[in-house]
Amino acid sequence: MTQNTSYPAHARATLALGLPLIGSHLAQMALHVVDTVMLGWYGVAELAAVVIGGSSFFVVFILGSGFAQAVMPMVAASLGEGDETQVRRDTRMGLWLSLGYGVLTYPLFWNSGAVLLALGQKPEVAALAQDFLRVAGLGMVPALLVMALKSYLAALERTQVVLWVTLAAVGVNGVLNWFLIFGNGGAPELGVVGSAIASFSVQVLTLVVLAVYAGWLPELRRFRLWQRFWRPDWTAMARVFRLGWPIGVTGLAESGMFQASALMMGWIGTVQLAAHGIAMQVASLTFMVHLGLSNAVTVRTGFADGAGDAAALRVAALTGIALSLGFGALTVVLLLAAPVPILSLFLDMTKPEAAEIVAFGTVLLALAAVFQIMDAMQVMALGLLRGVRDTRVPMALAAVSYWMIGIPTSYILAFKFGFGGVGLWVGLCVGLMAAASSLMWRFWSRR
């Protein structure tokens, strides 16, 4: 990896890294969409169970993913320092911590039925969700190991393989779902358990492919990733743990804010919740672009920081921000110019409630235009800070922004001042604005 202070060169390098990562993030979303659609065809109770089970899995996953995500900036920085031994040490211990977390959390999935009942879920849905999670929970280990390997490969600028493997996983998952959920082709009809088996199988297959690629590709063999993998490295493990756990908590705080917003929107009304869900899906799709660019900037700034090249670090940061803002501006135009066609993609317009959903959704997409810029800047700031291995203070800033500013503002505007769903979304924008401004201040004040 080479860096210079040319803005066009940094833009090309950032896009070369970021575009495959954007594609892989979108493909990862498609995995969950396929599961949801196919179980929607199978049955309502099964769909509800997998929605609940999938969101529960994600909450546990996002907390543990910090160790895997920490691998990316640490490997980039070690490459910048010219220390290939440290690349291997940090990656291995990121894999060790991910493995340990996955094993320790499995009892939660095994006993998930009791937890879901305590949270007020219907017995039928809780039972089906437990059936799903007892199998899907086995996938926590391979899912986290896959994320760690993706971080390792991204830091080594091997992002195209990440994209192609994820795209292949979408296809394999769809085929396995078709056989195992519905019992097609002579396979047993397993419903939600079939979907869980398909997901677990895809995760294991993806892990095997990436592990082989990372270990035996001639250009990567010099890192000797799997040599004496069983030997602990307590110093490197402590480094990864210190950087990784705040990343996981930050992700949990952010995802928790959006989960809480959905819960509060459900208090307002069914139509409002449906419009909220569609608007969030649209926002999530465009967010994947900013997330991929943020990952690329983490690698670029991590390498520059490791090499002690302050000029390249500054240009890499400004280039990433400019690219993200540019895409955000295009998104704003699209959301403001074509809200009805966008919303119509998610609805059967012959249904009587569709018009009301579109009317409310149009207002939310207008707010999403503001939402997009704020969300883009906060995730870019997090990527920049992770590149310079700064995660603890950003965790605190993000948690305060989301839970002490965003959620209370949403609640007050929606329910105390009577602005309903619009007030709720204004509160989300305020929380994201607080996160974006405080995190950007943190990064640039340190420079």
Position 237 in a domain: no
Same domain for 165 and 272, yes or no, is no
Pick from 179, 209, 205: nearest CA to 194:
179
Looking at residue 369, what is its pLDDT? Answer: 87
Evaluate the CA torsion angle 340, 342, 343, 346 in order and state its sign: positive
Query: DSSP H helical segments within 230-309, as ranges?
Result: 234-268, 270-307
Distance CA(300)–CA(312), nearest Å, equals: 9
Distance CA(64)–CA(60), nearest Å, equals 7
Of the chain, the percentage scoring pLDDT greater than 70 comes to 98
The helix/strand/coil state of 121 is coil
Average pLDDT over the chain reads: 89
- 239 located within any domain: no
What pLDDT digit, counting tens, does each position of 288-334 carry? 999 999 999 999 999 999 888 998 899 999 999 999 999 999 999 99
pLDDT at 78 over 60: yes
pLDDT of residue 5: 61
pLDDT of 280 over the 90 cut: no
Give the tens place of pLDDT for each residue, 152-200.
999 998 989 999 999 999 999 999 999 999 999 889 999 989 999 999 9
Please state the rounded mean pLDDT for residues 120-124.
80
Verify that 91 and 203 share a domain, yes or no. yes
pLDDT at res. 53: 84
Residue 66, domain member (yes or no): yes
Establish if 417 belongs to a structural domain: yes
**pLDDT value of residue 382:** 96
Q: 137 with 57: CB under 8 angstroms? A: yes
Where among 232, 261, 283 does a domain terminate?
232
Q: The tokens of 337 are what?
A: 């110019």
Residue closest to 373 by CA, chosen among 331, 409, 417:
331
DSSP secondary structure string for all residues of 404-436: IIIHHHHHIIIIIS--HHHHHHHHHHHHHHHHH
In the chain, how many domains are there? 2
Asked whether residue 270 falls in the same domain as residue 344, the answer is yes
Q: How confident is the model at residue 30 (pLDDT cuts 50, 70, 90)?
A: confident
- The answer to the question of residue 340 being in a domain is yes
Task: Report the interhelical angle of 310-337 vs 7-42 (nearest 10°).
Answer: 50
pLDDT at 13: 86
Rg of the chain over Cα atoms, rounded to whole angstroms, equals 22
Shared domain for 260 and 209, answered yes or no, is no
DSSP secondary structure of 46-68: HHHHHHHHHHHHHHHHHHHHHHH
pLDDT at 246: 96
Same domain for 257 and 294, yes or no, is yes
Would you state the pLDDT for residue 217?
A: 87
Give me the residue label for tokens 């997998």. Answer: 50
In the block, which residue shows the tokens 């899906």?
281
- Over 60: is that where the pLDDT of 1 sits? no
Which region holds residue 82: left if phi is over 0, alpha if psi is between -120 and 50, else beta? left
The answer to the question of residue 43 being in a domain is: yes
**Domain for residue 2, yes or no?**
no
- Name the amino acid, one letter, at 409: T
194 and 112 share one domain: yes
259/342 same-domain check = yes
Are residues 262 and 225 part of one domain? no
Q: What is the mean pLDDT of residues 67-93?
A: 93
**Residues 153 and 299 reside in one and the same domain:** no
116 in helix, strand or coil?
helix
The pTM of this model reads 0.87
Query: What's residue 93's pLDDT?
Result: 96
Q: Is the pLDDT reported for residue 4 higher than 60?
A: no
**362-387 pLDDT, tens digit each:** 999 999 888 888 999 999 999 999 99
Distance CA 326, CA 339 (A): 20
Question: 225 and 262 in one domain?
Answer: no
Taken in order 158, 161, 166, 169, is the CA torsion positive or negative?
negative
Among 197, 232, 267, residue at a domain's last position: 232
| Domain termination residue (choose one: 209, 232, 255) | 232
Give the residue numbers spanning the domain of 19: 7-232
Question: Are residues 180 and 255 both part of a single domain?
Answer: no
The pLDDT score that the predictor gives to residue 266 is: 79
Residue 205 and residue 254 in one domain: no
Does residue 355 sit in helix, strand or coil?
A: helix
Sign of the four-CA dihedral 343, 345, 350, 351:
negative
**Averaged pLDDT, 56-77:** 92
**E strand or H helix at 340, and its extent?**
helix 339-344
| Residue 238 within a domain | no
